[in-house]
Amino acid sequence: MEKVTAIVAIYKSEKFLPKLIESLIHQTWQNLEIILVDDGSPDNSGEICDEYAKKDDRVIVIHKENGGACEARNVGMDRATGEYMLIIDGDDWLELDYVEYLMNLVHKTGAEMAMTDHIFTTRDREQIKNDSIDKISSEEAFCLIIYPKIAIGPWNKIYKTSMLRENNITFSRPWSGEGLYFSSMAAQCSNYVALGHKKIYNYRLNNAESGLTHYNLQMGINASINIRYIGDTLKIKTRRTENAVKWHIWKNYGYQLFLIIATDSIEENKDRYTDCLKNIRRRLSGVLLHSELGPKTKLHMLYQGLFPVRAAKRDLKRSIEELKKDKME
């Protein structure tokens, strides 16, 4: 049974942290190294981590000055000794077979990276009915992540440590979109990627400290920088991967427009607002023609391209309504 290192960057997570750590230490896959990186959290998160380290010698706690999630994850990655690596958010929690399931995907396929294309959220608590294992190419995995037809974060995936280190894959990009960069780069550098469908990760959408509950234009700007960087540094440069990146760039213009409207900051961001409208319309025909998406999604794209402001306002209304549906866990 190979050793697997789980890395958790922690900041202001005291409310949710015990649930996460309990779900880690009770994994059915017991050969674990659990690295908890306290990123200068001002609450009791660090003390909670220390208490668990006293009770379980697989738990390693690192206390550091606040430097952001990317820096904290990199510190944990440097310390990791496991043959495989997991990146987990500090406010989420895991199904007890999370590690075992991902390692089974690795063992069945020989892939250096494995992932699931479904997750639980605080809005969706229903397990899928049918599961299977697919061995897909690096190109296919990259496209699944970039479109995205799968959650783009690093946390529903497992990575072979040697593959990450040989290719110098770290969290080296600005916050917001850094997980997209990490996952898409790992997919390109893996021999194959194993894909399962079972929900094993619980993603929290209702953390008041999360960027998901606070609209911030800088998130959209950073995400734009990161997807363009991904396009500029493609390791697998094909028509499929280039078209996937072009679609994501187009989608990001809509995301920035959404954030400008959500923050009621059109006047302060007049040039960016105008640029978003121009690019949403100008790039629409190309992404409609070349993107690998279904008719329903393309119909939504067409509506967004023809009526970008109306679409953004509709999405904002839906976002506010969806937040109210969250089930606290």
Q: What is the pLDDT of residue 209?
A: 62
Q: What is the pLDDT of residue 230?
A: 97
Three-state secondary-structure class, residue 4: strand
Sequence-distant contacts of 164-169: CB under 8 A, at least 24 apart: 164/77, 164/85
Q: What is the mean pLDDT of the chain?
A: 95
> 208-251: per-residue pLDDT in tens?
665 555 789 999 999 999 999 999 999 999 999 999 999 999 99
> 74-83: per-residue pLDDT in tens?
999 999 999 9
Q: What is the pLDDT of residue 208?
A: 61
Residue 224 CA neighbour count, 13 Å, CB half: 17
Residue 96 has pLDDT above 80, yes or no: yes
- Output the CA angle 155-44-46, nearest 5 degrees: 60
**The residue to which tokens 């540094």 are assigned:** 233
Q: What is the pLDDT of residue 213?
A: 55
Q: Is pLDDT larger for residue 241 or for residue 206?
A: 241
Mean pLDDT over 111-135 rounds to 95
Residue 316 has pLDDT above 80, yes or no: yes
Residue 174 has pLDDT above 90, yes or no: no
Three-state secondary-structure class, residue 253: helix
Q: What is the pLDDT of residue 328?
A: 55
Contact yes or no for 105/111 (Cβ under 8 A): yes
> 8-58: per-residue pLDDT in tens?
999 999 999 999 999 999 999 999 999 999 999 999 999 999 999 999 999
Which DSSP category does 94 fall into?
A: E
Q: What is the pLDDT of residue 132?
A: 97
Q: What is the pLDDT of residue 326?
A: 67
Is 0.85 surpassed by the pTM of this model?
yes
Which DSSP category does 267 fall into?
A: T
Q: What is the pLDDT of residue 24?
A: 98
Give the separation between CA 151 and CA 180, rounded to whole angstroms.
Answer: 9
Give the separation between CA 256 and CA 208, rounded to whole angstroms.
Answer: 21
Q: Give the CA-trace dihedral at 7, 161, 194, 143, to 10 degrees.
A: 80
Residue 43's region, left for phi above 0, alpha for psi from -120 to 50, else beta, is beta
Q: What is the pLDDT of residue 327?
A: 58
